[in-house]
Amino acid sequence: MDETPDRRMLEMGGRLLDELPPATEDVRRWRRHLAGYRPDSERSDDVVVWLACVLALKAAAEGNFGIGCVLINDQGDVVARGHNEVFTPWFRGDRHAEMVVMDAFEDAHPDLTSLADYTLYGSLEPCPMCLTRLINSGVGTVLFATPDPEVGMVHRKDDLPPEWVGLSREQRFDRAECSPDLAAAAGQIALLNRADLEQKLMDRRRS
């Protein structure tokens, strides 16, 4: 019997956790937490959000902002995954998790004309740059594990220029249906090195 999409995601995330560099004690602590997590069967998005959190931890362990992202099709299969890559392997100001995933998917499927049946899951609420990218890409549903009051743009979506606001009405943007534990993990992983990396961004302007 074929494995379910959830089982494949759990196996994928397990391999990623096994491959994580030791990094800091904080990373090791969150690795243990995610490795021991048991998905809540009553939360429809728990497994895919868990995978996004694993990817977020991978980002933090590699010296990037701790944000992960997964794109699934209408069968529930992962078609693209990624994490923030702004600082590693080299500096790229546009390599937010959502941008990494959409770049990979759109490059692999140049003839695909509609993403209405696809769902993108992020560990953190998308920033303005990523939100406009997702609107332009036409991903049917965009779900995130936890809000980002400082940088997140979904809760301020109506402040975008009218053209983007109009386009976004064809899409769904919302919180993922995951456990409070995972939502909290996503938020904490995003904060692991955020202050240090934001300072590095500021330092680049002064060099």
Helix H or strand E encompassing 78 = strand 78-83
Q: What is the predicted pLDDT for the residue at 46?
A: 98
Q: What is the predicted pLDDT for the residue at 10?
A: 97
Q: Which residue has the higher pLDDT, 96 or 1?
A: 96
pLDDT tens digits along 147-191 = 999 999 999 999 999 999 999 999 999 999 999 999 999 999 999
7-38 burial by CB neighbour count: b if 16+ within 10 A, else e?
Answer: ebbbebbeebbeebeebeebbeebbeebeebe
What's phi and psi for 71, nearest 5 deg? Answer: -110, 130
pLDDT tens digits along 40-82 = 999 999 999 999 999 999 999 999 999 999 999 999 999 999 9
Q: Which residue has the higher pLDDT, 192 or 22?
A: 192
Name which of 103, 101, 18, 91 is nearest 61 in CA terms.
Answer: 18
What's phi and psi for 43, nearest 5 deg? Answer: -110, 110
| pLDDT at residue 21 is higher than 90 | no
CB atoms within 10 A of CB 109: 12
Does residue 100 contact residue 82 with C-beta atoms inside 8 Å?
yes
Report the percentage of the chain scoring pLDDT > 90: 94
What's phi and psi for 68, nearest 5 deg? Answer: -125, 165
Task: Name the catalytic one among 62, 85, 98, 125.
Answer: 98
Is 98 labeled as catalytic in the residue annotation? yes
Cα–Cα distance for residue pair 38/192, rounded to 1 Å: 23
Q: What is the predicted pLDDT for the residue at 1?
A: 40
| pLDDT at residue 104 is higher than 60 | yes
